[in-house]
Protein backbone atom coordinates (compact mmCIF):
# COMPACT_ATOMS: atom_id res chain seq x y z
CA UNK A 1 0.00 0.00 0.00
CA UNK A 2 1.52 3.32 -0.98
CA UNK A 3 1.30 6.56 0.94
CA UNK A 4 -0.73 9.08 -1.00
CA UNK A 5 -1.42 12.74 -0.50
CA UNK A 6 -5.07 12.86 0.44
CA UNK A 7 -6.97 16.06 0.75
CA UNK A 8 -8.96 15.87 3.95
CA UNK A 9 -12.18 17.78 3.54
CA UNK A 10 -14.09 19.64 6.16
CA UNK A 11 -11.22 20.26 8.59
CA UNK A 12 -12.28 23.80 9.35
CA UNK A 13 -15.50 24.58 11.16
CA UNK A 14 -16.66 26.96 8.42
CA UNK A 15 -16.37 24.36 5.67
CA UNK A 16 -20.00 23.54 5.29
CA UNK A 17 -22.87 25.48 6.74
CA UNK A 18 -25.77 23.50 8.11
CA UNK A 19 -28.19 22.19 5.52
CA UNK A 20 -30.88 24.66 6.59
CA UNK A 21 -28.51 27.54 7.35
CA UNK A 22 -27.38 28.55 3.86
CA UNK A 23 -27.23 26.98 0.41
CA UNK A 24 -24.00 25.17 -0.42
CA UNK A 25 -21.79 26.61 -3.08
CA UNK A 26 -20.60 24.39 -5.92
CA UNK A 27 -17.27 23.47 -4.31
CA UNK A 28 -18.85 22.62 -0.95
CA UNK A 29 -21.47 20.47 -2.65
CA UNK A 30 -18.82 18.63 -4.67
CA UNK A 31 -16.69 17.88 -1.60
CA UNK A 32 -19.65 16.83 0.53
CA UNK A 33 -20.97 14.61 -2.27
CA UNK A 34 -17.68 12.64 -2.16
CA UNK A 35 -18.29 11.91 1.51
CA UNK A 36 -21.89 10.86 1.01
CA UNK A 37 -20.94 8.76 -2.02
CA UNK A 38 -18.35 6.95 0.09
CA UNK A 39 -20.95 6.29 2.78
CA UNK A 40 -23.59 5.34 0.21
CA UNK A 41 -22.38 1.75 -0.07
CA UNK A 42 -23.59 -0.75 2.59
CA UNK A 43 -20.15 -2.35 2.97
CA UNK A 44 -18.43 1.01 3.44
CA UNK A 45 -21.13 2.17 5.83
CA UNK A 46 -20.63 -0.97 7.94
CA UNK A 47 -16.84 -0.55 7.83
CA UNK A 48 -17.20 3.06 8.94
CA UNK A 49 -19.50 1.98 11.76
CA UNK A 50 -17.08 -0.73 12.89
CA UNK A 51 -14.19 1.73 12.95
CA UNK A 52 -16.14 4.59 14.55
CA UNK A 53 -17.53 2.32 17.27
CA UNK A 54 -14.02 2.07 18.73
CA UNK A 55 -14.62 5.52 20.19
CA UNK A 56 -12.52 8.64 20.29
CA UNK A 57 -8.96 7.80 19.34
CA UNK A 58 -9.78 4.11 18.95
CA UNK A 59 -8.38 2.11 16.10
CA UNK A 60 -9.13 -1.23 14.54
CA UNK A 61 -6.90 -3.66 12.69
CA UNK A 62 -7.93 -4.71 9.21
CA UNK A 63 -7.58 -8.28 10.49
CA UNK A 64 -10.63 -7.59 12.70
CA UNK A 65 -12.67 -6.03 9.87
CA UNK A 66 -12.23 -8.60 7.12
CA UNK A 67 -13.88 -11.62 8.84
CA UNK A 68 -17.13 -9.66 9.29
CA UNK A 69 -17.75 -9.73 5.52
CA UNK A 70 -18.15 -12.40 2.90
CA UNK A 71 -15.71 -10.49 0.69
CA UNK A 72 -12.08 -10.94 -0.24
CA UNK A 73 -9.37 -8.99 1.56
CA UNK A 74 -8.55 -6.94 -1.57
CA UNK A 75 -12.21 -5.91 -1.84
CA UNK A 76 -12.26 -4.79 1.80
CA UNK A 77 -9.02 -2.87 1.21
CA UNK A 78 -10.60 -1.14 -1.79
CA UNK A 79 -13.60 -0.03 0.30
CA UNK A 80 -11.28 1.23 3.04
CA UNK A 81 -9.26 3.14 0.45
CA UNK A 82 -12.42 4.92 -0.73
CA UNK A 83 -13.27 5.89 2.85
CA UNK A 84 -9.74 7.28 3.23
CA UNK A 85 -9.98 9.22 -0.03
CA UNK A 86 -13.25 10.75 1.15
CA UNK A 87 -11.43 12.08 4.22
CA UNK A 88 -13.34 9.98 6.73
CA UNK A 89 -10.64 7.66 8.07
CA UNK A 90 -6.89 7.32 8.14
CA UNK A 91 -4.56 4.38 8.61
CA UNK A 92 -1.08 3.25 9.52
CA UNK A 93 0.78 0.08 8.58
CA UNK A 94 2.40 -1.75 11.47
CA UNK A 95 4.30 -4.75 10.23
CA UNK A 96 1.87 -6.99 8.36
CA UNK A 97 -1.32 -5.27 9.51
CA UNK A 98 -2.94 -1.92 8.81
CA UNK A 99 -4.80 -0.08 11.58
CA UNK A 100 -7.68 2.32 10.84
CA UNK A 101 -9.29 5.15 12.80
CA UNK A 102 -11.87 7.86 12.18
CA UNK A 103 -10.36 11.28 11.61
CA UNK A 104 -11.07 13.66 14.50
CA UNK A 105 -14.23 15.72 14.13
CA UNK A 106 -15.39 14.14 10.87
CA UNK A 107 -18.58 12.64 12.26
CA UNK A 108 -19.36 15.76 14.30
CA UNK A 109 -19.08 17.93 11.17
CA UNK A 110 -21.36 15.61 9.20
CA UNK A 111 -23.87 15.59 12.05
CA UNK A 112 -23.74 19.40 12.30
CA UNK A 113 -24.35 19.70 8.57
CA UNK A 114 -27.39 17.41 8.72
CA UNK A 115 -28.84 18.87 11.91
CA UNK A 116 -31.52 21.51 11.58
CA UNK A 117 -31.99 24.04 14.35
CA UNK A 118 -35.07 23.50 16.48
CA UNK A 119 -37.48 26.39 16.61
CA UNK A 120 -38.56 27.33 20.12
CA UNK A 121 -42.29 27.17 19.46
CA UNK A 122 -42.40 24.14 17.16
CA UNK A 123 -43.01 20.63 18.47
CA UNK A 124 -42.92 17.39 16.59
Q: What is the mean pLDDT of residues 5-19?
A: 48
CA distance 63 to 72: 12
Give residue 117's pLDDT: 67
**Is 70 exceeded by the pLDDT of residue 121?**
no
Q: What is the pLDDT of residues 62-79, one digit of tens each?
A: 999 999 999 999 999 999
**Is 90 exceeded by the pLDDT of residue 4?**
no
Q: What is the pLDDT of residues 35-56, one digit of tens each?
A: 999 999 999 999 999 999 987 6
CA distance 55 to 77: 21
CA distance 115 to 67: 34
Average confidence score pLDDT of the chain: 82
Q: Are 38 and 31 in contact (CB under 8 A)?
A: no
Amino acid sequence: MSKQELEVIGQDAGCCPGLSTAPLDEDQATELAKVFKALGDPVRLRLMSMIASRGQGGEVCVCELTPAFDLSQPTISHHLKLLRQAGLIDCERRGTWVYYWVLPGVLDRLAAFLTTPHSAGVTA
